[in-house]
Structure 1
């Protein structure tokens, strides 16, 4: 269905190809998973299938990409629209109409299909994706999972043979992600659609993949093969695979269910051991913060109304210096609203927010800058310069930091981003890293992050964990809103769960996530009822006991 014949892509001004030596065939009716580090060329590869590369992005394409018999060098994206459907990370950016039914029909209207054909296909797609009850709903009122299903449906109505998806679950809560993945499974199994999927959160998708394309980066040729075969050697792999590799399971399990079937002897060994206690929050406060205050932020009886929606209700929350808190909950629970309120973007309807003696929505930006900093879901909102070097220089100047401070943070998170690169030309993970470094340059007493690992590979996530731990050890409070249960298990001292704008759980991470099927990490599910959260805990305990 998709054939790559000695494909390489080089962008103008680049020192090395974005993609090199790709020579493989993806069969019809398979789900092929694309894995690799940030900047390894995953988005470029997806673009070659849809024709966006090089017709839209520019650059030079060597070799040949053939999709359903059509050469993408001679067929522009509009010439491939009836055979290739593309869905990006942000469904709202994909929409061009206002309601579900109109969005499903738009692609067919563009191709000039007959009205009776359009009506039939809309009905078929509504049933296929479980959207019939939402047909007249405004797109802006849908949950994240519902929006992603509509985005998929809008390309399915033209009956494409190939579906290309770039990080389709990155912004979704675990439940919504399962909805989307169930749809993809149905398309592959029931309709024979070929799905090419790039995703960093491999713990969600690896069990569904028929084959994997691994892009090692660094000029190394891609690898292609059965999922278990590639996962055995891939530097990018989910916790279930990491656990299997650590304890020597063969063949490697790809799902929690497979791992639990193998884990009885391991659970027996671990029953006699205990996880190392989580490090306690640092009691110190960051330099420059008011002395004598027991908290970096206090939220009291907070309610926030956005239009007719009561986004937050009776929220009481104290954030302490040195403590890392994970804020979790389904899409639409109020997480982003709470973070925005803490930086003064929303005034409380009732209640109060106090950050180091400052009321955020009344404070001047210059005053608030060193008290609290927010990395939003969309990092473009913070970036306004033409190059990475200029962004870093502006951050140093705005915060009064030593020259090079911001650039050093960028290099620590994801090494190798050139100074002269334009922020819009960076990968999603690289752009997020740059925005994070801009905020961290000010070293604010309270650091807020909204989905900070969206678009980050496992190596970049590990570097982010190290940086946030260092900041917490220096006395900064950290609050991160995330759907990444693995990140919460690895990093957070405390987890707060929001639902319908109210706090429904607040306590030590180990207690909160283990008791929740939705928010438990893979290791906790595999080793339940033993109290283990991460692969690192398991390997350290076995090594200390001498049984690894």
Structure 2
């Protein structure tokens, strides 16, 4: 009998601290924590709080690959990570990182699913059976022969999770596993993880910023704040945590006790609140549109007959589109619907089979040279690191100021607003995914382009960071810029978007005001809308505006 089997703990932290040489403060401080077998643990915290370091210690990535000094003791399935490197834990620990593409080692989906089993020298018959099971489990059987680089970000995420599941690990560690998935895809993945926990006793540790998706599945929450850890039930931790999903914010505002963590429980608690809202505002839907919604429908970017083909796949099918200047428009739809292809075609650098794109003055972005395009149309891609090539954050900001003809410090000020506290001497590749995205966004916004296109800009961002990003995009819209955001983050759409476009199979299937499009959709409705339906409010701020606290 192993120590793990006798003690029943899958992971044990004993007085663990982690110090990185370049940091004045420890990434983790005196952590004492046990994670039991068959437990689903959700790790939460602000961007840069130490979550990724905590996860990295579980498979030995910290400190064996990252460097730094680890004091104390971390045991995983009875193995001390001080004497067991990541390869020594590969048979019991599976890890899915934030950037799926960075972890792929083969060319196609089926090869990637089989690769981990090949390294463990499993029999071919076993490998074939597990590949088929995983393809069906994650709903990606039709992608078995697809090149990994041709997949959408969400499809890549599913393959990354599948490549870990095929090795049948006893412990799964996932960093932002649903960040690139549409709501339905995220539910499927989380349902799969829940089945692994309850049916097979697999231990699952997840770090996730989109708490509204995951918290209802968690047995326990571990909150990391400035390197220190506390843990407890979801309701206990979220009662006063620094970050919380909208359903918790609504519960805090309304004074519900205990705080509900599921939509069902929240709807039961919200019955009096719905009556008050309906009684005070018979036409409460009028409260939903943002107070600074655009007054003029003048188009900022227009597309006519836009078609994008990738080989035999039609990604964008003869789309006609007009997006108003001075507005924020959200582009939504399931993974593979054609959102990214549309954004790149609007930018002028992506593939375009036919059709035309016009800016406000009639210029087609495809006709512009890169320096001209930079000040007209800015694009923040899903893979933010593609645009980072210098050796420090400060160098990236200085270069952006020079190329855009802006005063020194312009990009740094934008970055400080989006993600405060990033050291200028740090290498961009050492930043968290959320910090990388904030840096790329600051670089793009330095040029003040009249059209701003963003592809999944909230990946890796916590709630306060998303609020700051939303405020930045709203300011751009008020200044007359046209903003188009492709995203699966329905809560972000609720706080930032004037209008929503929904795509399916390359076509636009819905386009209208946010409250009209997302409030009535089971897949895209934000938490507040689900809790308060039929009252059509989307955010807690709208509830505050509609019904002051002293009236509740």
TM-score range, shorter chain: over 0.9
Correspondence for 2:273 among 225, 248, 266:
266
- 2: CA distance, partners of 1:509 / 1:386: 41
Q: CA RMSD in A?
A: 2.0
Deviations 1:393-421 (A, max 9, x none): 00000000011000001111111101101
Correspondence for 2:86 among 69, 77, 102:
77
How far apart are residue 121 of structure 1 and its match?
A: 4.2
Deviations 1:212-254 (A, max 9, x none): 110122x5x2111111111111111111111111101111111
Does the 8 Å CA contact 2:221/2:231 hold for their aligned counterparts? yes
Secondary structure of 2:547 counterpart: helix
Q: 1:183 to 1:147 in 2, by over 3 A?
A: farther
| Matched ranges for 1:153-172 at <5 A | 153-172=162-181
Counterpart residue number, 1:111: 120
Counterpart residue number, 1:500: 505
Correspondence for 2:397 among 392, 401, 409:
392
- 2: CA distance, partners of 1:85 / 1:118: 16
**1:46 paired to 2:39:** no
Counterpart residue number, 1:229: 236
Q: 1:350 to 1:33 in 2, by over 3 A?
A: same
Normalised TM-score (structure 2): 0.93
| Matched ranges for 1:32-431 at <5 A | 32-122=41-131, 125-126=134-135, 129=138, 139=148, 147-217=156-226, 221-272=228-279, 273=281, 274=284, 275=287, 277-282=289-294, 294-355=298-359, 356-431=361-436
- 2: CA distance, partners of 1:119 / 1:305: 33
5+ long unaligned stretches in structure 1? 285-292
- 2: CA distance, partners of 1:179 / 1:140: 22
How far apart are residue 59 of structure 1 and its match?
A: 1.0
| Matched ranges for 1:534-545 at <5 A | 534-543=539-548
Secondary structure of 1:78 counterpart: helix
Quick check: 140-149 or 488-497, which moved more?
A: 140-149
Correspondence for 1:488 among 489, 493, 496:
493
Q: 1:138 to 1:349 in 2, by over 3 A?
A: closer
Does the 8 Å CA contact 2:289/2:515 hold for their aligned counterparts? no
How far apart are residue 360 of structure 1 and its match?
A: 1.3
Does the 8 Å CA contact 1:300/1:316 hold for their aligned counterparts? yes
How far apart are residue 91 of structure 1 and its match?
A: 3.0
- 2: CA distance, partners of 1:388 / 1:91: 23
Does the 8 Å CA contact 2:288/2:515 hold for their aligned counterparts? no
Secondary structure of 1:417 counterpart: coil
Does the 8 Å CA contact 1:5/1:22 hold for their aligned counterparts? yes
Quick check: 141-150 or 388-397, which moved more?
A: 141-150
Counterpart residue number, 1:453: 458
Secondary structure of 2:299 counterpart: coil
Counterpart residue number, 1:289: none
Does the 8 Å CA contact 2:221/2:233 hold for their aligned counterparts? yes
